[in-house]
Amino acid sequence: MPAPVNPFKKGLREGRRQIGLWSQIGSPTAIEMIAGSGFDFIGIDAEHGPSDLVTVYAQLQAIAAGGPSHPLVRLPSCDPVLVKQYLDIGVQTLVFPQVESAEQAAAIVASTRYPPKGVRGYCGAPRASGFGRIKDYPFTAEAEICIIVQPESMKAVDSLEAVAAIDGIDGFFFGPGDLSADMGLLHGATRPEVVEVLIAAARRIKATGKSAGTICGDEALTRRYIEAGFDIVAVGSDQGVLVRGADDLAAKFR
């Protein structure tokens, strides 16, 4: 039996845009609720949110129960030890922050591959293999692992084609907040200058045959990104939905 099919990666390969919701709360209960909303993916944020390996494990279980959304996990760093652990608990799509060079991208890919192709440590019966029930997992896992890197600086933008040329890199997911800060426009993710850089960069990525993505909470701007050809689009966050909903409700009665 081979490793489970990654529907997110399959969708991108078939040219189907993936629309998702970012999850910053770190709650399995919240994840279970939103997993049934119809998003293609839920992005679990272990970089800026409170999630860690143990709580992500619980969130994976919650998504499996609430479904059918696919879980992406943004790691706190590109540490190969963390990569190994998240892969073992069943994460198939990983988002790597602050990737700026082809050398860094190659090291990331190696961290997701078993020897001799990479440096991923071997475990005989991880959750990813159904605790050993998926006998062919070690030989088929690689094909279903999706690697998304985040360009979050102008140095990273300058290196897009070199990173895209690394075999195993599936796509890019721009961090507009960090990119705006690097451009000297802190807290300026929706500034016209930043938007133009993102759209131009996405076109370059698309020309390489790889996928381009980003996150945006502004509906009009999100639709502009979609029209510009972004393949992976997080259209908001669970935290944002909760805060706005609570604020709006309170305002009605105060």
Q: What is the pLDDT of residues 180-224, one digit of tens each?
A: 999 999 999 999 999 999 999 999 999 999 999 999 999 999 999
Pairing of β 93-96 and β 211-215 = unpaired
Query: 222 is in which domain, residue-wise?
Result: 7-149+215-253
DSSP helix/strand/coil, 102: helix
Q: What is the CA 73 to chain-centroid distance, rounded?
A: 6
Instruction: Answer yes or no: is 47 within a domain.
Output: yes
70 is annotated as an active-site residue? no
Q: What is the CA 59 to chain-centroid distance, rounded?
A: 15
Instruction: Answer yes or no: is 220 within a domain.
Output: yes
Band of the pLDDT at 248, cuts 50, 70, 90?
A: very high
The widest CA-to-CA distance across the chain, in whole angstroms, is 64
Q: What pLDDT, in 10s, does the model give residues 110-154?
A: 999 999 999 999 999 999 999 999 999 999 999 999 999 999 999
Instruction: Answer yes or no: is 239 within a domain.
Output: yes
Pairing of β 232-237 and β 18-23 = parallel
Instruction: Answer yes or no: is 173 within a domain.
Output: no
Residue 52 and residue 69: Cα distance in Å, rounded?
20
Specify the number of domains making up the chain: 1
Instruction: Answer yes or no: is 120 within a domain.
Output: yes
For residue 10, give both structure tokens: 């399959």
Length of the chain: 254
The catalytic position among 10, 48, 135, 155 is 48
For residue 118, give both structure tokens: 């990479």
Instruction: Answer yes or no: is 11 within a domain.
Output: yes
Instruction: Answer yes or no: is 196 within a domain.
Output: no
E strand residue ranges, the chain: 18-23, 41-45, 70-74, 93-96, 146-149, 171-174, 211-215, 232-237
Instruction: Answer yes or no: is 208 within a domain.
Output: no
Q: What is the CATH number of the domain that holds 86?
A: 3.20.20.60
pTM exceeding 0.75? yes
Residue 101 and residue 109: Cα distance in Å, rounded?
13
